[in-house]
A and B are shown apart, each in its own frame.
Chain A
Amino acid sequence: MRLMKSLKRDYLLHVMLLPALVLVLVYSYYPMFGIIIAFEKFSAFKGFFHSPWVGFDNFKYVFQMPEFPLVMRNTLIIAIFKIIGNLAVPIIVALMLNEVSKSFIKRGVQTLVYLPHFLSWVILAGILKDILSPSDGIVNHVLGYLGVQPIFFLGDNHWFRFTLIVSDVWKEFGFNTIVYLAALTSISPSLYEAAIVDGASRWKQTLHITLPGIVPIMILLGTLSLGNVLNAGFDQVFNLYNPITYDSGDILDTLVYRIGIVSAQYSVSTAIGLFKSAVSFLLISVSYWLAYRLANYRIF
């Protein structure tokens, strides 16, 4: 009834939503039915609905693959360290920026540190491959002056994960400070005035006013990042890894790509993808719920 009434009264609002609705149904919801190929021996000729059913065989195959534990481990390690770095470094930078009173320095710093966020991993991977090259890259050249042997950052399993994590934090820390800076500016100046009257030093003010002021946003971003535990960053890894570094850098998403697109095993690839989507869905739901409970966060 409500639907009919609304359709009649608000038809224009419905019409406005129509294009997005159609696109989402076709390109987001329809593919969700496609996950049934994870339970089939999919054949492109027979299509989604007519390929033979194999139950959980594809999942059994995936979980028994020798790469699977390795890939799970890589995904978790890379994602978790990225989450920690991407939470901690921006807080520090935001607090430091907050102490700067000269606005041109503040603006200049912000302009420069936001920049890498806007460049794609394709461009940055090209740049990283160049500057990190063991033979002619500038980084190893500088390390050479300091008496360090050339390090093969992108071709050595000891260094590859480290390089991934550090370069990701490098790319995103600037942009991630925006949220903290916004939180800092919303702290009431009267709190600081009162603290100064009470004789609090700068350090005491930071400790008792500034930090507590951004705790809610720290909790919010911390809980929301929980949903990313299986997202180790496809773009970055795909553009930086090579067969030598599969051992330390191969993640769920790159495995899905290689098995699905390169070796055309659609069913197996979709099974891995479904495993990841299902776990991620659970984690994101939990993280949104936590964000709501802890920080009263709503998406819209």
Chain B
Amino acid sequence: MYKLSWSRKTFLIFNYTFLIAMSVLCILPLLNVLAVSFSSAGAALSGSVKFIPIDFNLKSYEIVIQQGKFFTAFGVSVERLILGTLVNMIICVLTAYPLSKENHRFPLRTAYAWLFVFTILFSGGLIPTYLVVKQTHLLGTIWSLVLPGAVNVFNVILMLNFFRGLPKELEESALMDGANHLVTLVKIYLPISLPSLATVTLFTMVGHWNSWFDGLLYMRNPNDYPLATYLQAITIDAATLKNLTMNDPETARFVSDRTGRAAQIFMTALPILLVYPFLQKYFVKGLVLGSVKE
């Protein structure tokens, strides 16, 4: 090993400091809100909570949990997540496979591909889309959160670019052995596409969990709001939580609308925070592989 020069050393120290500062910057806000959610109402109000809770308690979480609405919304979100991810992934894979074929193998490929890509370039806009959702009788149902966005063209492109990178011989030999396209897709393509599948699944799941605007638009009854929409509604209108704490002075000592909101923000983010670290290595790999083209 050779010794590092003085300037190199200075640079490295600066570099590590810079990068660590950037990373810390990305989680400090979360840690602060987490600390607030565990603190008492008074401590939160005085603004003295930094990153360690003051008067640690779980009262805010209790209130949120007792308040049935949070769980109703949580349930809607879980239902949407499962249904939506399933539909999105099936359609994504089924669409990407034919579009990944060579032009001479599947002559209409380009026409189909442009038909899908055009929907990225131009859209009818908010009101016409809303009216169509209404006309197709989806308003107020869980399907209004699943079907209009079921074809995610970006994910399809990511997936098809990955399929195109696979060796052609695999498909040829499978077809030669008498397998049809569907069997080839399920038995040959999917098992070796795990990084891309994991990436697209993660993006789809996060997308469904985080979507709030369609819930606000298409759900008539606030009881049908998914969690993200519910959270959006209460952060815009702070009065909801206040009512709950008024009655009981013991609760009011620990819970303010600030700590209550912090608890809800955190519980909404929690599923993502839990799943994300495990899937991270896949999506970095999957994204890079999916974007590589010859």
Contacts and interface: CB of A to CB of B under 8 A. Distances in A.
A31 B124 contact: yes
B268 A284 contact: no
A162 interface: no
Given A48-B131, A110-B284, A93 B22 contact: yes
B265 A27 contact: no
A10 B106 contact: yes
- Mostly, the A contact residues are helix
B142 interface: no
Contacts of B26: 112-113, 115-116, 170, 174
Interface string B10-34: 0110011011101111110110110
A117 to B, nearest CB: 9
Interface residues of B, number: 99
Contacts of B117: 299-300
Given A12-B181, A127-B29, A261-B217, A118 B106 contact: no
Contact of B150 (A23, A119, A126): A23
A34 B23 contact: no
- Mostly, the B contact residues are helix
Contacts of B176: none
Interface in B27-75: 27, 29-30, 32-33, 36, 44-47, 49-50
A33 interface: yes
B3 interface: no
Nearest to A13: B98
A152 B133 CA distance: 40
B125 A35 contact: yes
Interface string A277-300: 100110011000000000000111
Given A10-B106, A109-B23, A300-B157, A34 B122 contact: no
A35 B276 CA distance: 39
Interface string A167-201: 00010011000110010000000000000000000
A170 B25 contact: yes
Nearest to A92: B18
A18 B277 CA distance: 36
Contacts of B91: 19-20, 23
A260 to B, nearest CB: 5
Contacts of A116: 26
Interface in A198-239: 202, 234-235, 238-239
5 contacts: A28-B119, A28-B151, A32-B124, A174-B26, A178-B288
Given A20-B94, A300-B117, 14 more contacts: A17-B94, A20-B91, A31-B123, A31-B129, A32-B128, A100-B15, A100-B19, A116-B26, A120-B209, A178-B288, A182-B291, A269-B127, A270-B126, A277-B124
Interface of A: 2-3, 5-6, 10, 12-14, 16-17, 19-21, 23-24, 26-35, 37, 48, 93, 96-97, 99-100, 105, 108-116, 118-120, 122-123, 125-131, 135-138, 141, 170, 173-174, 178-179, 182, 202, 234-235, 238-239, 256-257, 260-261, 266, 269-270, 273-274, 276-277, 280-281, 284-285, 298-300
